[in-house]
């Protein structure tokens, strides 16, 4: 049998590192041709989850035998997003898959987690700009291209996958900006799925749990070993997720295996979201995914 994404054309934002990189390489392994985009092509330092961190995603995809190219893109820019889509169509003739992965967490950067009354307006606005506007623009222009293109042999015109979070399905203290943005991604995903359904365009979201990427770098230092252990116990499967765990779910949502799936937020979290919220507050619960 041919690979699940044979001859599919996939655009992935935030693809230089972490979940975006793992998704791009999983797609490449399944036969897709790639348009990789990010602010920079240089990968961030990751944590034992990437066997070739010094290699760009495009180079790693080429090593797997896939076609791939890099396009620099600021997802908050309508001009950049439109140019990204246009480049993909010029190079490959169509777009089958759009993964809106690029995102930020101000709570795990210099801003830190804090109660809503202390949350800085500038940090909230930046979060909204990247995590909501960026996903909206990617969904808008990818779906516009898909609506106008010929359907595939099974009648589908495309698959859009947005990155939400387990905190797009629930809340916790200290992350009002991040949680707001990821809830918004879920609302956008559901509404866009209804808009796109008559054209057989699938629109779904992934909701990762705590995943071993730069997003939770403060948990992955020797000084945070005790906190990391506590976070790991919050997942019924134990430990942290890997970018590859999320990428495998992305392959499913981008394939004909998900032919009857649209408008969902799929938790990929080792069971985290099915547990009740902890009764005590602890800094670990304010780490974002």
Strands 265-268 and 201-208: parallel
279 belongs to the catalytic site: no
Per the CB < 8 A criterion, the answer to whether 83 and 139 are in contact is no
Give the length of the chain.
Answer: 289
What span, in angstroms and rounded, lies between the C-alpha atoms of 236 and 258? 26
Q: Which of 15, 105, 165, 255 is catalytic?
A: 165
Axis-axis angle for helices 134-147, 78-92 (nearest 10): 40
Find the radius of gyration of the CA atoms of the chain.
Answer: 18
How far, rounded to the nearest angstrom, does the alpha carbon of residue 54 sit from its chain's CA centroid?
Answer: 21
Q: Which residue has tokens 């960026």?
A: 134
**Burial of residue 112 (number of CB atoms within 10 Å: 0-12, 13-18, 19+):** middle
Q: Which of 143, 178, 210, 228 is catalytic?
A: 178
Q: How far is the CA of 277 from the CAs of 54, 198, 223, in angstroms?
A: 38, 38, 25
How far, rounded to the nearest angstrom, does the alpha carbon of residue 5 sit from its chain's CA centroid?
Answer: 18
119 belongs to the catalytic site: no
What span, in angstroms and rounded, lies between the C-alpha atoms of 194 and 198? 8
Q: Which of 16, 167, 182, 288 is catalytic?
A: 182
165 belongs to the catalytic site: yes
Show which residues are catalytic.
Answer: 165, 178, 182
């Amino acid at each position: 049998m041919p690979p699940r994404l044979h001859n599919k054309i996939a655009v992935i934002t935030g693809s230089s590192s972490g979940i975006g990189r793992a998704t791009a390489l999983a797609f490449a392994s399944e036969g897709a041709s790639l348009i990789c985009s990010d602010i920079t092509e240089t990968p961030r330092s990751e944590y034992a989850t990437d066997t070739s961190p010094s290699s760009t995603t495009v180079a790693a995809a080429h090593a797997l035998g896939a076609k791939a190219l890099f396009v620099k893109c600021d997802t908050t820019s309508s001009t950049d997003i439109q140019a990204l889509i246009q480049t993909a169509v010029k190079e490959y003739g169509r777009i089958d898959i759009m993964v809106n992965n690029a995102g930020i967490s101000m709570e795990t950067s210099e801003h830190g987690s804090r109660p809503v009354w202390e949350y800085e307006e500038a940090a909230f606005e930046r979060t909204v700009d990247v995590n909501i506007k960026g996903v909206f623009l990617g969904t808008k222009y990818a779906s516009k291209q898909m609506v106008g293109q010929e359907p595939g042999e099974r009648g589908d015109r495309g698959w859009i996958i947005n990155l939400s979070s387990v905190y797009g399905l629930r809340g916790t203290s200290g992350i009002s900006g991040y949680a707001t943005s990821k809830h918004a991604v879920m609302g956008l995903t559901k509404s866009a799925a209804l808009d796109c359904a008559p054209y057989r365009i699938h629109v779904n979201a992934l909701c990762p749990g705590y995943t071993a990427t730069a997003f939770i770098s403060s948990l992955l230092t020797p000084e945070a070993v005790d906190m990391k252990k506590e976070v790991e116990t919050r997942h019924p499967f134990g430990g942290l997720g890997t970018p590859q765990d999320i990428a495998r779910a992305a392959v499913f949502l981008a394939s004909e295996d998900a032919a009857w799936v649209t408008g969902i937020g799929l938790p990929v979290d080792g069971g985290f979201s099915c547990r009740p919220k902890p009764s005590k507050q602890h800094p670990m619960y304010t780490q974002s995914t």
